[in-house]
Amino acid sequence: MNIKIVCVGKLKEKYLKQGISEYAKRLTKFCKFEIIEVPDEKAPEKLSSAEMEGVKTKEGIRIIDKLKDKEYVYALAIEGQERSSEEFAQELANLATYGHSDLAFVIGGSLGLSKAVMQRSNAQISFGRFTLPHQLMRMVLTEQIYRGFMINAGSPYHK
């Protein structure tokens, strides 16, 4: 299985880099895993609705450019469907069983994802209604992907 996370912006915090690196290393026994960063669009603090859409559109073009046609794409969005870790693990197993061995997870910038990215996605996933820093979300997502594989392997890691 090939899994990638496409995200907007650079990861700056050392502790997050270390955490993601640890889970990425653990994932190597289950899949090919990579994180692709696309540049964020520089924007002033106060934006009109039209300017916000413009920023999301530009970032969305960069994201879509990194997605392949054959990939099953998850968009991370507050309005997406919440899943338990067990439900997510089952979903990963089902996707692999039914020929979706290339997965991409998309984390947008601070303004969210463009309409085009949402339309390109096969599913939207939410980790709850909390607002989390996008950089922290990378680590949470990477850990949950690892947890999903561990659940499917029958490992006690999940307990």
Closest C-alpha to 83, from 148, 27, 131: 148
User: Residue 15: in which H helix or E strand, if any?
Assistant: helix 14-27
The annotation status of 108 as a binding-site residue, yes or no, is yes
Please, what is the Cα angle at 63 between 57 and 67, to 5 degrees?
135
The annotation status of 113 as a binding-site residue, yes or no, is no
Closest C-alpha to 113, from 30, 48, 40: 40
List binding-site positions: 76, 108
List binding-site positions for S-adenosyl-L-methionine: 76, 108
